[in-house]
Amino acid sequence: MTWFLARHRRRFLNAGMEDTVRWCAGPDKTVLGNHRTDQYWIEIFAPSAAPVSAGIARLFLETLKLAGGWDYEAVARLINNLRATTAFLPDRDIPSLAHALRRLQDREIVCITAASKLAQLVFPAAEVHIRQELSWQAILSRQQHPLSGMALQNAQDWYASAQDYVSYHAECRRILAGEMTRADFIEAAEVVTSLLRTVPGPLSDPAIPDAFFQRYLLDKMLFHEGWHIKFGRIANCDESIPVNDQLRPGLYQRLRSYIRLGASEAIA
């Protein structure tokens, strides 16, 4: 890991904890004003729930900031077919899901992020990692890859790398195994897991493994590392906090406020 990732590790981890609890708050909460939480979508996409409509498909894509240019009826059918799937292997099936989504919109958008997010919500017990450009930059930087910190040369480069979900998934699995040997990450994962298990909703179901929260936390941590690489600052973080702080002041209370009030009303 490069020196600045190591130096700011606690900040990235704290930011990842906040995002995990914010986006996994109860199904009745909202994030960033009017976006529904992931617990809401896990409920909506559950096999026992009502069929997904075109309107629900549109709302989901709007949450991912992908609204416009879609055949929403076709997206709804794709989601409903996915919900009926009994055997789903992320590294095998997410690339084909991304390809199927790409055919349902008219802007040639790379759909690997949407596909991996959809898979995570439909199959929360599956070993899914969310494929994002910023997370990929973080992984490259952790590897001290020559492309780390640089924009990919063109859209085709990003499309080609995005399609390689198998390698991305394997790398996330390797990184998570390493993080689960580090005391600070283990503690952070235990905190968010214990908090979110108390929230009425699908994530309180013991059928959802603790590994869901560990993967979610890692994905958010990698996102914030990638944000720092791309923009030179830490997203949603008070840079005045000393870098050697073990715990962001008031973090636990803030996490609890996301659960109690919802992310849009949480304490500052």
φ, ψ of residue 31 to 5 degrees: the values are -125, 140
pLDDT of residue 153: 45
Is residue 155 over pLDDT 50? no
Q: Which of 98-112, 131-145, 233-247, 253-267 has the lowest mean pLDDT?
A: 233-247
Helix or strand or coil: residue 188?
helix
Percent of the chain scoring above 90 in pLDDT? 57
Average pLDDT over residues 249-259: 69
Q: How many residues are there in the chain?
A: 268
Cα dihedral sign, 105-165-96-85: negative
Both tokens assigned to 217:
């936390």
Angle at 10 between CA 7 and CA 15, to 5 degrees: 125
Average pLDDT over residues 147-168: 57
pLDDT of residue 230: 80
User: What CA–CA distances, in Å, run from 109 to 154, 155, 174?
Assistant: 14, 10, 28
Structure-derived torsion over alpha carbons of residues 222, 26, 42, 169, reported in degrees to the nearest 10: 10
Residue 121 β-bridge partners: none
pLDDT of residue 160: 54
When comparing pLDDT for 92 and 145, which is higher? 92
Is residue 83 over pLDDT 60? yes
Contacts 24+ apart (CB under 8 A), 96-101: 98/162, 98/163, 98/165, 101/75
pLDDT of residue 209: 97
User: What CA–CA distances, in Å, run from 107 to 17, 40, 237?
Assistant: 34, 28, 34
Q: How confident is the model at residue 149 (pLDDT cuts 50, 70, 90)?
A: very low
Domain layout of the chain by residue ranges: 3-261
Residue position matching structure tokens 């080609």: 160
From the list 260, 238, 234, 258, the residue with the least C-alpha distance to 248 is 238
CA 20 to chain centre: 8
How far apart, in whole angstroms, are the C-alpha atoms of residue 13 and residue 48?
Answer: 35
Q: Which of 31-35, 69-73, 88-92 has the lowest mean pLDDT?
A: 31-35
Q: Give the other-Cβ count within 10 Å of 219's Cβ.
A: 23
Q: What's 182's DSSP letter?
A: S
Find all residues with CB under 8 Å of 95, minimum gap 6, and list them: 112, 115, 163, 165, 166
pTM above 0.75, yes or no: yes
User: Which of 103-112, 117-126, 255-264 is predicted most confidently?
Assistant: 117-126
CA 131 to chain centre: 8
